[in-house]
Structure 1
């Protein structure tokens, strides 16, 4: 615990635990804002982060299982594309449906449902007997994954004060590409020896352990307060406060800020398409689609392309696929440390334009050998990963508090749409035109992303959210 967090003053145990009848929404928020990072908050992050890690792992696990599945079940390029895309279609439905449900039954309620659905469908994938059955199971599993990340992000952020939230959010987001990289490591070592089912077993075991832990976590106090359940919210906050005091810590006096209510709040999601927010909404949707259509189209297909098109041994194909994921993680970390200095709009425009270079290079060279692809496709993926990695952050900056959750949720639904279209597009182009034309198609999509960014995106670097979004 830092002395800075406690420098504003000290309160005792009796003062920290306010009675429910005397507790207002503003007071609860003020008490949360002055809270240091406690052991319980760290536990919440670990439990939710572990699930997010294996959600990411599962997204990519199919890519490393697919080379064996394609040979075992005699799958065509179109079949492979549909199986890979099924999960993303499920994620699209999950992001839209469960995002709305989380506002009604709570963040924790949805997170309990999604982890159970995830575990059941991961187990079901072990018993898939055909391309169609795998497609169905992956779709249903995708529903759970689609809800997990946006709801988990909201849940965690609602516990953390504003001064700590930004850094935490970016570091939390790094969990996802690390999980994808871990899928590459597992695929490299397990699939050649134990077969494709090993990928799903590895993802299943830790997820089962996580299930009971979710029942031990508290509901978001901010959500409880927003629903008028102030007594329950007070108990959650008091428990966090008492943990600090039991460990000999001190807490600053809560600073209560009165926030003026906006009369436009009743407009709900319709406000996303009015005034200044209309352009922002369509802009962020375009960025989600362009970035994820390329990156998930690339990373989920590359191992299969290495094996089926170039005849590489499966272990080599998986190693190349892992290399791409690893560079994506490194690029994510660079982005997390640098984007506040460069700015969102500038970073995205430059990244989209830079990604065009290796994609066009592959088209010109003809993508005639795997080394060309592992170098150029990895470069394009890593560059674009800096965009896809940080779009949750940028989305939340484009909307006021009254629209932030629904605006970010609908935006993330479009990333699922882009993720679903990407693998199908690759399968269609490879099957009908040849591998080199995949990369020129992706280069054109990157160009669209660059043009949209330069023409319509706004810069949010260093600006107060209330000034950006009245």
Structure 2
């Protein structure tokens, strides 16, 4: 359900600037926390003498925490306020991340990562909803994509911090930097305010219940279809970032530093893709925007098979990142317009975090295909997922009414 937003259409107001700055910073610090685990996982595994299964479950426990936090804080944000909940979720995941500095057993790692997931899981929906309720409809795609770029900046910061800290002080010290987000809470509480749309919805006292996402068969199908799309989005991202660097090391004989250059090029491609997708979404509408990017992502995957040297590898990686991850901010934009104000944050958190939980297992499937198949099979698997998402997207009736606003 669409709602009117602020009157500014060209220049950003001061509250709008603070909304974008705060959500971008929140997403950056959240992704930095997630990438800390990726960079430190080998050290944690060796230090605690973990099996592959035990180490793999750390990410799964984090994703479970994200789903739990997404449900809890989505409902709380829709009931008590987005800004108030936003500051609490940041506080929880910041302290839980820093607590990893004192994790000297597998049980402690699982507990702290679950708590970090609880805090991080609540942030996405709150941040996206704040943007959706602060900007006109023809700017939501651009602004949510701009905020999503913050997550990529967080990945770069994590890579730099890990390279400098782990060899010198060890993996425990890396997680101390999780306290950095606490400083963001001060600025959020000082400069962000609840939107007029939320105040109106709270005054109406409409019930905030998860079952409202499935209230009718049509709405239940819409929610399920959007979960399929976000699952594919997360599955593609995990496959791209977790497996392709090692695949390229074997294919072209790259060193770890060489694959790191590929990852940076891919992240730059992702960030540029987000900027472009946001503009395309606002100008052409979701069906055309997602349709083009999903089809292009399915095709771009096979470009990896054509790489013969480092230059073509960088081009293929950046191109794939552009189309595959450029869509990330768009999901929050369409969910925010498809669901009413009083259940908007819950919808964003539930749909995306279910996608995170299920999509995160793509690494296991890709690992199996790598052990028993070929690179072509891996790319075909991921391409089939994007095509599934395309068909699913086209089957959502309400997306047809989200036509682009006339310019």
Q: Same fold (TM over 0.5)?
A: yes
For residue 411 of structure 1, the aligned residue among 342, 347, 351 is: 351
* 1:172 aligns to 2:147 (yes or no): yes
Structure 2 residue aligned with 1:62: 37
Structure 2 residue aligned with 1:397: 337
* 1:290 aligns to 2:232 (yes or no): yes
Name the CA distance, whole Å, in 2 between partners of 1:335 and 1:93: 30
Could you report, residue by residue, the CA deviation over 1:75-130 in whole angstroms, capped at 9, with x for unpaired residues? 55444432233322221111111101112332233223212211211111223335
Structure 1 residue aligned with 2:323: 383
Could you report, residue by residue, the CA deviation over 1:11-55 in whole angstroms, capped at 9, with x for unpaired residues? xxxxxxxxxxxxxxxxxx999647985545534543443223211
Q: Give secondary structure in 2 for the equivalent of 1:220.
A: coil
**Worse-superposed segment, 131-140 or 267-276:** 267-276
Structure 2 residue aligned with 1:441: 381
1:153, distance to aligned residue in structure 2 (A):
2.5
**Worse-superposed segment, 314-323 or 383-392:** 314-323
**Worse-superposed segment, 447-456 or 30-39:** 30-39
Please give the root-mean-square deviation of Cα atoms over the aligned residues, in Å: 4.1
Structure 2 residue aligned with 1:338: 280
TM-score (norm. length: structure 1): 0.70
Could you report, residue by residue, the CA deviation over 1:372-426 in whole angstroms, capped at 9, with x for unpaired residues? 9766565434321122231111222334556544433332232222343233434
Could you report, residue by residue, the CA deviation over 1:168-218 in whole angstroms, capped at 9, with x for unpaired residues? 34422332233234334444555555544454344x243132234444345
* 1:208 aligns to 2:182 (yes or no): yes
Within 5 A, what are the aligned runs for 1:67-466?
67-130=42-105, 133-160=108-135, 167-188=142-163, 190-191=165-166, 195-197=170-172, 199-202=174-177, 204-217=178-191, 219-222=193-196, 223-228=198-203, 269-270=211-212, 272-274=214-216, 276-302=218-244, 314-360=256-302, 376=316, 379-401=319-341, 404-430=344-370, 433=372, 436=375, 437-456=377-396, 458-460=399-401, 462-463=403-404
Could you report, residue by residue, the CA deviation over 1:420-463 in whole angstroms, capped at 9, with x for unpaired residues? 32334345555x53673544432332232233234446445535
Q: Give secondary structure in 2 for the equivalent of 1:462.
A: coil
Runs of 5+ consecutive residues of structure 1 not aligned to the other structure: 1-28, 229-260, 466-470
Q: Kindly tell me the number of residue pairs found equivalent between the two proteins.
A: 399
Name the CA distance, whole Å, in 2 between partners of 1:350 and 1:146: 29
Could you report, residue by residue, the CA deviation over 1:254-311 in whole angstroms, capped at 9, with x for unpaired residues? xxxxxxx9xx989984464526434432321211111111212332455566789999
**Worse-superposed segment, 301-310 or 78-87:** 301-310
Whether the 8 Å CA contact 2:20–2:131 is kept in 1: the answer is: yes
Q: Give secondary structure in 2 for the equivalent of 1:216.
A: helix
Q: Give secondary structure in 1 for the equivalent of 2:352.
A: helix
Whether the 8 Å CA contact 1:63–1:301 is kept in 2: the answer is: no
Whether the 8 Å CA contact 2:90–2:185 is kept in 1: the answer is: yes
Q: Aligned in 2, Cα 1:53/1:460: closer, same or farther, shift over 3 Å? A: farther
Q: Give secondary structure in 1 for the equivalent of 2:327.
A: helix
Structure 2 residue aligned with 1:21: none
Whether the 8 Å CA contact 1:283–1:452 is kept in 2: the answer is: yes
TM-score (norm. length: structure 2): 0.79
Q: Aligned in 2, Cα 1:460/1:322: closer, same or farther, shift over 3 Å? A: farther
Whether the 8 Å CA contact 1:63–1:304 is kept in 2: the answer is: no
Whether the 8 Å CA contact 1:296–1:422 is kept in 2: the answer is: yes
Structure 2 residue aligned with 1:247: none
Name the CA distance, whole Å, in 1 between partners of 2:241 and 2:106: 20
Whether the 8 Å CA contact 2:27–2:151 is kept in 1: the answer is: yes
